[in-house]
């Protein structure tokens, strides 16, 4: 009898330990193809502003960060399937996405930009884009904007698995331009040797499509993680950690 009780107690303690360990880990989904927000270093490790920000949030909340790589276009279905707890991958908070997920407080807000050869006469005016081919990353707000506003006006919008796959076709001349996040275009391409002949032709703002800045997406009803992340985010703003991280990556304010 005593032996049975001991085994039962051991199993209960083991289950409790595993539950406690699970609650101490925050699994964050990320698509590391979007520098300077998220990308891979030469050694394969994750790097970027979102990575540092996520690690800072976890440290403040006293939980372990576990990063799970995924394709951005499939991130919300993967979240719903519980492959991770939250998406931290430069996801803009749009009304359409709010129907599917819950968002934390805003992380940052940056504009979208049209990237094209410096010699090109393209602008964000759709009249200059008719008959041209513009590359976008699948599942992004830039894809939504281009397909909603430009495609019906005669612009050929081509979607790619991620933004890093757009640039080779842009360089090869198979694309006339690309619509992407302005910071990613600037730091992920224009500062590189291959981007020397390209410029940002204009930026775009459209609150209905581009949303209210970037947030961390969670499953609806996950109040525990939502409160934990928002509390940690507020604290790293208060203690100066957030400002230190932004200065590491940006030359201007990304938080209004």
Query: How far is CA 139 from each of CA 73, 92, 97, 102, rounded to the nearest angstrom?
Result: 4, 11, 11, 17
The one-digit pLDDT tens for each residue of the chain (256 residues) are 444 545 554 555 454 444 444 458 999 999 999 999 999 999 999 999 999 999 999 999 999 999 999 999 999 999 999 999 999 999 999 999 999 999 999 999 998 999 999 999 999 999 999 999 999 999 999 999 999 999 999 999 999 999 999 999 999 999 999 999 999 899 889 999 999 999 999 999 888 899 999 999 999 999 999 999 999 999 999 999 999 999 999 887 898 7
């Amino acid at each position: 009898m005593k032996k049975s009780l001991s085994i039962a107690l051991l199993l209960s303690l083991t289950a409790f330990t595993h539950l406690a360990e699970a609650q101490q880990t925050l699994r964050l989904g990320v698509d590391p193809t979007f520098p300077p927000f998220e990308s891979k270093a030469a050694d394969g490790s994750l790097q970027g502003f979102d990575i540092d920000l996520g690690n800072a949030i976890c440290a403040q909340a006293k939980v372990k960060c576990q990063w799970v790589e995924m394709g951005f276009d499939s991130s919300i279905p993967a979240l719903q399937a519980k492959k991770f707890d939250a998406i931290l991958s430069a996801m803009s908070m749009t009304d359409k996405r709010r129907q599917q997920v819950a968002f934390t407080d805003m992380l940052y807000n940056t504009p979208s930009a049209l990237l094209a050869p410096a010699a090109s006469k393209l602008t964000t005016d759709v009249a200059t884009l008719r008959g041209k081919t513009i590359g976008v990353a699948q599942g992004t707000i830039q894809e939504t904007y281009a397909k909603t506003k430009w495609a019906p006006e005669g612009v050929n919008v081509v979607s790619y698995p991620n933004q890093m796959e757009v640039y080779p076709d842009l360089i090869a001349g198979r694309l006339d331009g690309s619509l992407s996040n302005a910071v990613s275009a600037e730091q992920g391409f224009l500062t590189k040797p291959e981007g020397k002949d390209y410029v940002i032709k204009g930026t775009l703002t459209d609150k209905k499509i581009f949303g209210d800045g970037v947030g961390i997406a969670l499953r609806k009803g996950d109040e525990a993680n939502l409160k934990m992340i928002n509390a940690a985010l507020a604290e790293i703003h208060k203690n100066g950690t957030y400002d230190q991280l932004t200065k590491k990556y940006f030359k201007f304010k990304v938080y209004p």
